[in-house]
């Protein structure tokens, strides 16, 4: 499929309109920015693999009483939609976007701003590191690539905001957009490679899809309960399979998540299903009403429900293993598997850690404003971007 003619290269314009603000701190004191293989390895997939597994090896610190908070909020007030963009972290270097249309790099050692930049719109999707740059998509429909030193490398105008976190295979960047399209850009310079349009037939709408996943193909869920497999090289559709046949909200809000030859996806008002990756054939389907997830860990699938529950199923046949309700009546913002535990964050509540085998809550941490973005987890601890716009450091 041919790239859209609406894609405009804006690097010169953005470089003038969005010059880096250093606040007198950019080189005082000197800061050694991460680069090379160390940066690439740390930033390539900090929130699970590109397959959408939502599983990371590092876990939440066992002692949550040791924490620091860096306040970048506006008058300590939580924005209406909170903060949905998770941070990128290498060592003590932290990069994040926020609902105030800012891209900011800080030192986690002391909280000082290394550089900051003004985006064209609010940033609600998590950036991706590709082609040696951190790539952000904002709510005004612009996609911008920043070096880790704050230099704008390229910019593209899509015209519509991204509705899911960005995804990359290292060379290409995939963007799920509110205009019912998936855009594929070249990571090196932002040039358009292809686009997949889901406007017709109506059953292909992507409006409320929550994520895209990459395995032997590119997988996405639709608002009418379909899972679609697309060729990541040219944007051609390979197959389309119906997961949710009926219901008021058949939107695929959990997954897709690719695990070898199987893809898992769940509808908000329908079942969670396992599909054969090569054909789209449904292997099993169980009632789920999944609003977020799916996290894949060992032989388990974990997802969050709109009733506030966290549920674990068997990967083999979808049999129920356990169900927990840390915040009854409140749909979780995210569910992920980390360090052998299940983590669940709530927009109007704390971050919970649950035992993987039983679903029992082991501990929790409150930011005071809720949490909408998945935390960064590493050997040094956890970094949380709270809904109020504050950076919380746990165990660091």
Give pLDDT tens digits for 198-244.
655 455 565 555 678 999 999 999 888 899 999 999 999 999 999 98
* CATH code of 367's domain: 2.130.10.10
Helix ranges (DSSP H) in the chain: 11-17, 36-43
Distance, CA of 47 to chain centre: 7
Domain span including residue 341 = 8-394
| Higher per-residue pLDDT: 43 or 49 | 43
| CA gap 292, 308 in Å, rounded | 10
Average pLDDT over residues 236-265: 90
Cβ pair 334, 85 in contact under 8 A: no
Model pLDDT, residue 41: 80
Cβ pair 293, 300 in contact under 8 A: no
Residue 280 is assigned to a structural domain of this protein: yes
How much is the pTM?
0.90
| CA gap 59, 362 in Å, rounded | 13
CB atoms < 10 A from the CB of 281, how many? 11
Which residues are paired to 152 by β-bridges?
Answer: 146
Question: In this structure, what are the phi and psi dihedrals at residue 229, rounded to the nearest 5 degrees?
Answer: -110, 130
| CA gap 60, 85 in Å, rounded | 19
Q: How confident is the model at residue 18 (pLDDT cuts 50, 70, 90)?
A: very low
| Higher per-residue pLDDT: 36 or 85 | 85
CA distances from 291 to 13, 332, 333, 337 (A): 39, 8, 8, 16
Residue 125: exposed, middle, or buried by beta-carbon count in 10 A (0-12, 13-18, 19+)? buried
Number of domains composing the chain: 1
Cβ pair 241, 226 in contact under 8 A: yes
Residue 13 is assigned to a structural domain of this protein: yes
- Secondary structure of 67-94 as H, E, C letters: EEEEECCCCCCCCCCCCCCCCEEECCEE
Residue 31 is assigned to a structural domain of this protein: yes
Which residues are paired to 117 by β-bridges?
Answer: 103
3-state helix, strand, coil in the chain (%, to 5): 5, 45, 50
Residue pLDDT, tens place only, 63-120: 888 889 999 887 555 677 789 999 999 889 999 999 999 999 999 999 999 999 999 9
Residues 6+ apart with CB under 8 A from 267: 225, 243, 244, 247, 249, 250, 251, 252, 253, 254, 288, 289, 290
| Per-residue pLDDT at 14 exceeds 50 | no
Cβ pair 146, 133 in contact under 8 A: yes
Q: What percent of the chain has pLDDT over 90?
A: 62
DSSP assignment of 15-51: HHHTPPB-TT-TTSS------HHHHHHHHSSBTB-TT
Residue 3 is assigned to a structural domain of this protein: no
Distance, CA of 383 to chain centre: 15
Q: Mean pLDDT lowest for which of 72-81, 146-155, 181-190?
A: 72-81
Model pLDDT, residue 44: 76
CA torsion, points 364, 366, 369, 370, in degrees to nearest 10?
A: -10
Question: In this structure, what are the phi and psi dihedrals at residue 56, rounded to the nearest 5 degrees?
Answer: -125, 155
| Per-residue pLDDT at 135 exceeds 60 | yes
Question: In this structure, what are the phi and psi dihedrals at residue 70, rounded to the nearest 5 degrees?
Answer: -110, 125
Residue 2 is assigned to a structural domain of this protein: no
Residue 149 is assigned to a structural domain of this protein: yes
- Put the strands of the sheet holding 218-221 in their side by side order: 212-214, 218-221, 226-230, 237-242
Model pLDDT, residue 78: 65
Question: In this structure, what are the phi and psi dihedrals at residue 204, rounded to the nearest 5 degrees?
Answer: -100, 10
């Amino acid at each position: 499929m041919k790239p859209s003619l609406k894609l405009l290269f804006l690097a010169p314009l953005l470089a003038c309109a969005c010059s880096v603000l250093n606040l007198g701190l950019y080189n005082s004191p000197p800061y050694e920015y991460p680069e090379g293989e160390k940066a690439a390895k740390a930033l390539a997939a900090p929130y699970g693999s590109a397959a959408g597994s939502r599983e990371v090896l590092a876990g939440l610190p066992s002692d949550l009483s040791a924490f620091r908070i860096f306040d970048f909020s506006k008058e300590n007030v939580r924005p209406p939609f909170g903060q949905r963009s998770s941070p990128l972290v290498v060592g003590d270097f932290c990069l994040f976007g926020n609902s105030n249309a800012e891209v900011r790099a800080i030192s986690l050692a002391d909280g000082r701003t290394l550089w900051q930049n003004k985006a064209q719109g609010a940033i609600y999707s998590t950036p991706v590191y590709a082609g040696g740059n951190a790539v952000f998509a904002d709510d005004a429909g612009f996609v911008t690539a920043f070096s880790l030193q704050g230099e704008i490398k390229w910019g593209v105008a899509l015209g519509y905001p991204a509705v899911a976190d960005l995804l990359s295979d290292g060379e290409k960047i995939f963007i799920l957009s509110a205009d019912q399209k998936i855009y594929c850009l070249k990571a090196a310079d932002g040039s358009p490679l292809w686009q997949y349009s889901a406007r017709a037939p109506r059953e292909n709408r992507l409006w409320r899809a929550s994520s895209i996943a990459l395995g032997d193909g590119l997988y996405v869920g639709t608002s009418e309960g379909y899972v679609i497999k697309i060729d990541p090289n040219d944007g051609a559709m390979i197959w389309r399979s119906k997961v949710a046949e009926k219901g008021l909200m058949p939107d695929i809000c959990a997954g897709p998540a690719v695990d070898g030859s199987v893809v898992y996806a769940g509808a908000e008002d329908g079942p969670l299903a396992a599909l054969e990756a090569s054909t789209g054939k449904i292997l099993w389907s169980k009632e789920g009403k999944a609003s977020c997830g799916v996290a894949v860990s060992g032989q388990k699938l974990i997802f969050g429900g709109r009733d506030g529950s966290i549920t674990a199923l068997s990967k083999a046949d979808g049999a129920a293993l356990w169900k927990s309700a840390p915040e009854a009546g409140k749909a979780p913002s995210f569910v992920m598997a980390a360090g052998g535990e299940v983590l669940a964050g709530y927009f109007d509540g704390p971050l919970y850690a649950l035992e993987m085998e039983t679903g029992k809550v082991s501990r929790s941490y409150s930011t005071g404003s809720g949490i909408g973005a998945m935390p960064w987890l590493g050997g040094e601890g956890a970094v949380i971007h709270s809904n109020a716009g504050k950076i919380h450091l746990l165990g660091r």
